[in-house]
């Protein structure tokens, strides 16, 4: 068994543990600690203690296997990343050797002019009269929204600004984290900075990380998560939802951070709850014969409403 300084104890056997007296619980706790440290199994004539020990033993073995698999993944990812960097350096060296310059005539006139500009154009003329919480009544005229970022933040920088524990591991993209779920990413310890509202791509990277996007195996659900992330990112970063209606971007980010802080999986659960809520609202519109001319705009409006009003556990689980 690999040497670690800590191990995980699950609370799903709390009820059975409460059936033991204090002496039995003490024996069990010491035995679990010993097994996690040295791999030595409990020797006892107490059947109840032995049964519970076997449960904790299986859980420790399972988490240890997951830890070792994670270490192997990290090692392989590091090897592949270094190979890509080496290949890129070699490619650059070859390119530079192939170039010839005449010092007397060469002048560097290249100027960096890469400025990101979002042009926000809304054609949503939906006549729905839904009241959406968090929106103001004052319509906003179409205008260009300029970002202070010349390009989307590099992925490691996004992780750094969110205070991700993985920010120092050199990951270059969300795809490299395909083996990491929300717990591995320690999402609850992260927070979305308010300045991420200035660029859609940066906000999308943050939300993908916090929902464990690349680790989602179900492709249908992954498509739903992708659509919600894109709609929410655009809404926050343009400051507008459907019908050219302004939204409070700072408030939406604050609400996201409140949800994220609840649990590592909290934002992914929110997306699940929202997808159920949105489908329900959509069916209600259709059953009433109300035309939705811009479903994407309707999706954005529903996302804003649901985010501002959301409380975990208030919504009926999906059947």
25, 165: one domain: no
Of 55, 82, 109, the last residue of a domain is 82
Domain match, 21 and 163 both: no
Please count the CA atoms within 13 angstroms of the CA of 310 that sit on its side-chain side.
29
Backbone angles phi and psi of 145, in degrees to 5:
-110, 115
Q: What is the pLDDT along the chain (319 residues), one digit of tens a residue?
A: 445 667 777 777 777 788 889 998 899 899 988 888 888 899 888 888 888 888 888 888 877 777 777 777 777 776 776 777 677 667 655 555 455 444 434 344 333 333 333 333 333 334 333 333 333 333 333 333 444 444 567 888 898 889 888 887 778 889 888 888 898 899 999 999 999 998 999 999 999 999 999 999 888 889 999 999 999 999 999 887 665 678 899 999 999 999 999 889 999 999 988 988 888 888 898 899 888 888 888 888 889 989 988 865 544 444 3
Q: Specify the pTM.
A: 0.55
In a domain, 94, yes or no: no
Cα 56 to Cα 177: distance, rounded to the nearest angstrom: 29
Report the domain count for the chain: 2
127 and 210 share one domain: yes
Let me know whether 66 and 202 are in one domain: no
Give me the domain span that covers residue 142. Answer: 117-309
C-alpha pair distances (Å), 237 with each of 39, 146, 257? 52, 10, 16
């Amino acid at each position: 068994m690999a040497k670690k300084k800590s191990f995980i104890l699950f609370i799903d056997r709390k009820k059975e543990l409460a059936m033991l007296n204090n002496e039995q619980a003490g024996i069990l706790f010491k035995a679990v600690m010993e097994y996690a440290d040295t791999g030595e199994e409990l020797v006892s004539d107490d059947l109840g203690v032995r049964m519970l020990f076997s449960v904790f033993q299986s859980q420790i073995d399972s988490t240890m296997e997951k830890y070792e698999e994670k270490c192997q993944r990290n090692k392989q990812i590091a090897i592949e990343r270094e190979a890509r960097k080496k290949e890129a350096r070699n490619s650059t060296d070859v390119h530079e050797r192939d170039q010839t310059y005449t010092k007397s005539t060469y002048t560097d006139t290249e100027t960096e002019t890469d400025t990101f500009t979002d042009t926000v154009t809304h054609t949503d003329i939906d006549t729905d009269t839904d009241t959406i919480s968090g929106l103001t009544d004052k319509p906003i005229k179409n205008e260009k929204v300029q970002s202070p970022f010349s390009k989307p933040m590099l992925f490691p920088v996004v992780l750094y600004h969110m205070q991700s524990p993985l920010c120092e591991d050199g990951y270059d993209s969300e795809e490299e984290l395909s083996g990491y779920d929300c717990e591995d990413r320690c999402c609850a310890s992260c927070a979305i900075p308010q300045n991420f509202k200035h660029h859609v791509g940066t906000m999308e990277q943050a939300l993908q990380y916090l929902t464990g996007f690349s680790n989602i195996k179900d492709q249908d659900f992954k498509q739903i998560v992708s659509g919600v992330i894109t709609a929410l990112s655009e809404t926050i970063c343009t400051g507008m939802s459907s019908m050219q209606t302004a939204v409070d971007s700072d408030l939406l980010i604050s609400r996201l951070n409140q949800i994220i802080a609840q649990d590592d999986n909290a934002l992914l659960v929110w997306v699940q709850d929202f997808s159920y809520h949105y489908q329900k609202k959509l069916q209600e519109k259709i059953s009433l014969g109300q035309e939705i001319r811009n479903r994407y705009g309707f999706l954005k409006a529903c996302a804003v409403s649901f985010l501002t009003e959301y409380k975990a556990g208030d919504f009926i689980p999906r059947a």
